Amino acid sequence: MGRTKATALTLAGVLLLTVAHAQRFQLAITAEQLQQAVRDAASPAAEWVFGDVMTRRRVRGDYRTAAGGYVSDLKTFTTIQQSVPHQFRIHVATPYMRAVATFVDAKRRFAPMPLLNSESLNAEGVVVSVMPGTFADADAIEDVVVRPLGAADDFAIHPTRTIVEPQTITNRAGAIRDLSSGVFYFPLSAFDDLRLDVICVGRNGNVPFRIDVPDLDALTFQRWQN
């Protein structure tokens, strides 16, 4: 199969996943799905769950920019990524993704599988973690808000819980920058209307990330690998 045809199929597949799952994609985890998360965590492919949003897109062949625009191939995607500033790296995790991550980490540590509760995971909602980006571009995170597409400019959904801590980053030359990282908890209802923008409010400005169903579907990676 030629590169162009393969790329077209990749993009078509991502679009189909978005359309097919948009109406039935559920953020809440059930007790049965919690057991499935244990099984998924046993697969080596489950390590993907720790990747940030943009890394996961690249790995699964979903060549969407941070703003949500589609590009045709990996080369173009990489060129764009190298040409724009990277103030933040973000990780957006549903209850299912957090369960898989917890089980994968326990496996890595040779520890017993923790006893998780679906009600507690759902109560904590969707968790957005924000780390500084590349050394030259990185900003200090102060807040994160969610805004559905088409919402008024002054409308935003704020987190129900926020943890922001100082973080120091260093480059190869030994230079140091004092920034911050953060974890932000949103109710599941905040992500009802996908697609939407997750807006990182930094010390020096705001950076939006367009989030869609494939970014939150914990099984997307394995679908593309199979």
What pLDDT, in 10s, does the model give residues 68-115?
999 989 999 999 999 999 999 999 999 999 999 999 999 999 999 899
- Check residue 43 and give its pLDDT: 84
SS3 state at 94: coil
Q: Does residue 145 or residue 42 have the better pLDDT?
A: 145
Q: Are the C-beta atoms of 39 and 91 separated by less than 8 Å?
A: no
- Of 50, 82, 45, which Cα lies nearest the Cα of 65? 82
- Of 54, 62, 129, which Cα lies nearest the Cα of 84? 54
The answer to whether residue 1 scores a pLDDT higher than 70 is no
pLDDT 10s digits, 16-35:
444 434 444 689 999 999 99
Cα-based distances in Å from 80 to 52, 76, 123: 17, 6, 37
Average pLDDT over residues 162-189: 97
- Of 68, 65, 87, which Cα lies nearest the Cα of 76? 65
d(CA 168, CA 164): 13
pLDDT band at 13 (very low <50, low <70, confident <90, very high): very low
- Check residue 218 and give its pLDDT: 57
The answer to whether residue 52 scores a pLDDT higher than 80 is yes
Using DSSP bridges, classify how beta strands 176-186 and 126-132 pair: parallel, antiparallel or unpaired: antiparallel
Report domain extents, the chain: 3-225
- Of 60, 54, 58, 48, which Cα lies nearest the Cα of 87? 54
d(CA 162, CA 42): 31
- What does the mean pLDDT of the chain come to? 87
Contacts of 127 (CB under 8 A, 6+ apart): 92, 93, 98, 183, 184, 185, 186
The answer to whether residue 222 scores a pLDDT higher than 80 is no
Q: Are the C-beta atoms of 181 and 164 separated by less than 8 Å?
A: yes
The answer to whether residue 200 scores a pLDDT higher than 90 is yes
For 84, other C-beta atoms within 10 Å of its C-beta total 12
- Check residue 94 and give its pLDDT: 94
d(CA 121, CA 82): 36
The answer to whether residue 39 scores a pLDDT higher than 50 is yes
Contacts of 115 (CB under 8 A, 6+ apart): none
d(CA 155, CA 110): 45
